[in-house]
Amino acid sequence: MRRKQSENVPKVPTSDQDLVYNFPILWKTLWDMPQIKVLSTKSLVRFNNVVQDYLRDEGMRQRKAAYVEVDTIADYVDDSFARGLNQYNFLYTADDLKKLDEVVILNPDGQKLQALILRNNRSKKWVIALHGWTENKFLGLRQTYLFSKLGFNVMTIDVRAHGASYGTKTDLGYSAPYDLASCVDYLKTHYGMTNYGLIGNSMGGSIVVKYAEDIGYLDPALKFVIDDCGFSNLLLEARYFFQRQTKMPWWKVSFGLRRKFKKVFGYDPNDFDIRKKLSRTAQIPMLFLHGDADDLVPLYMSEQLYKEKIASEQIVVSELIVFPKAKHVEAISVGHKQYVNGIVQFLKKIGEIK
């Protein structure tokens, strides 16, 4: 008869060591392999169902009492009020929103990407925002408001399988950098863009860093990247997600994850590791934002990215700002003053605003 195991499941990992195999974990895995295989299979099925189950470009979303149609201006306004951004007057006015242009951009495969553009005819500078998992281009507007008021032109994009863009199943942002490249080319061709920055939250934060190290490092027009609570490695993030969902140690519920994930999503989650090529981005200033109460993407991931980023900088320009008591994607609201001041000072330091 197997002995009953009692495990202390950490609430939030504080380093990679909390999410990787070591000798004791390997021993316990082998000891309880039959049960672990069953639990892991169930967990991956549940994971796939959860990550694909969200509203896209139709349907009604309820945040508090009211229902609003998703992927619309009303969705953006309702989200801003739900986050309390209205108390800071930190949202676009009705007149601003009337000026939004909705455009369709084709990627190299001819697949349609939906985007929003808000012009400032007095400026050549742009910021492009990438939303998080389950969100859309309208919710991405909350990240662009500050930049619009600072004089930037702005664009937000529906990433694959979100909003009105192509795709029936999300790949959690893995292919998005290449779609983002199509949007950058579109702005250069149609608007003569010569200067742009990127901002993304959660999945979008990981996307903008991945774009910078895969593609953007070759583009002198890319002036800065802001990553708001993105994950550093999808394999480790998925293990933590399984642990968080099941309330069990990750190694009990994620055996064979890489092989099974690749079968379902088409790639190895360990390949979505944005730490590996950060040295390519030595000339691109980056600002990392993260709440210290984030229980979805651990704070240590941004700390790790920041440390890796500045290791390649001859003169340290990149920054990390940690927001006390802010949970996932709450820096903009819970830490609002620090959020605004941090971004403004960062942009001043790198010469993007005066």
In a domain, residue 191? The reply is yes
Nearest to 222 by CA among 196, 191, 190, 192: 196
Main-chain phi, psi angles of 101, to 5 degrees: -105, 130
Please tell me the distance from the alpha carbon of residue 108 to that of residue 111, in angstroms, as a whole number.
Answer: 7
In a domain, residue 77? The reply is no
Domain count, the chain: 2
> What residues in the chain have per-residue pLDDT under 70?
1-10, 65
Same-domain pairing of 187 and 222: yes
Tokens of 146: 């500050």
Q: What is the pLDDT of residues 221-254, one digit of tens each?
A: 999 999 999 999 999 999 999 999 999 999 999 9
Same-domain pairing of 162 and 132: yes
Same-domain pairing of 49 and 192: no
- Give the per-residue pLDDT at 201: 99
Same-domain pairing of 222 and 341: yes
CATH of residue 154's domain is 3.40.50.1820
The vertex-267 CA angle with 262 and 269, nearest 5°, equals: 85
- Give the per-residue pLDDT at 8: 58
In a domain, residue 264? The reply is yes
In a domain, residue 78? The reply is no
Same-domain pairing of 262 and 290: no
- Give the per-residue pLDDT at 5: 42
In a domain, residue 141? The reply is yes
Same-domain pairing of 261 and 176: no
Same-domain pairing of 211 and 110: yes
Q: DSSP label at 174?
A: S
In a domain, residue 245? The reply is no
- Give the per-residue pLDDT at 22: 96
Please tell me the distance from the alpha carbon of residue 90 to that of residue 334, in angstroms, as a whole number.
Answer: 13
In angstroms, the Cα distances linking 121 to 146, 151, 237, 331, 352 are 17, 9, 41, 30, 17
Same-domain pairing of 163 and 91: yes
In a domain, residue 206? The reply is yes
Same-domain pairing of 202 and 279: yes
- Give the per-residue pLDDT at 2: 38
Tokens of 127: 């910021």
Residues of the domain holding 305: 85-233+274-349
Indicate the burial class of 345 (C-beta count within 10 angstroms; 0-12, 13-18, 19 or more).
middle
In angstroms, the Cα distances linking 220 to 153, 194, 195, 207, 217 are 18, 9, 8, 19, 7
- Give the per-residue pLDDT at 9: 57
Please tell me the distance from the alpha carbon of residue 234 to that of residue 268, in angstroms, as a whole number.
Answer: 9
Q: Contact, 318 vs 286, CB < 8 A? A: yes
Please tell me the distance from the alpha carbon of residue 179 to that of residue 156, in angstroms, as a whole number.
Answer: 12
Beta bridge pairs of residue 288 = 227, 320
pTM across the whole model: 0.95
In angstroms, the Cα distances linking 34 to 238, 256, 258, 344 are 21, 13, 18, 54
Same-domain pairing of 110 and 183: yes
Nearest to 201 by CA among 79, 78, 102: 79
- Give the per-residue pLDDT at 63: 86
Same-domain pairing of 193 and 324: yes
Same-domain pairing of 326 and 192: yes
Please tell me the distance from the alpha carbon of residue 17 to that of residue 39, in angstroms, as a whole number.
Answer: 22
In a domain, residue 166? The reply is yes
Please tell me the distance from the alpha carbon of residue 178 to that of residue 182, in angstroms, as a whole number.
Answer: 7
Indicate the burial class of 223 (C-beta count within 10 angstroms; 0-12, 13-18, 19 or more).
buried
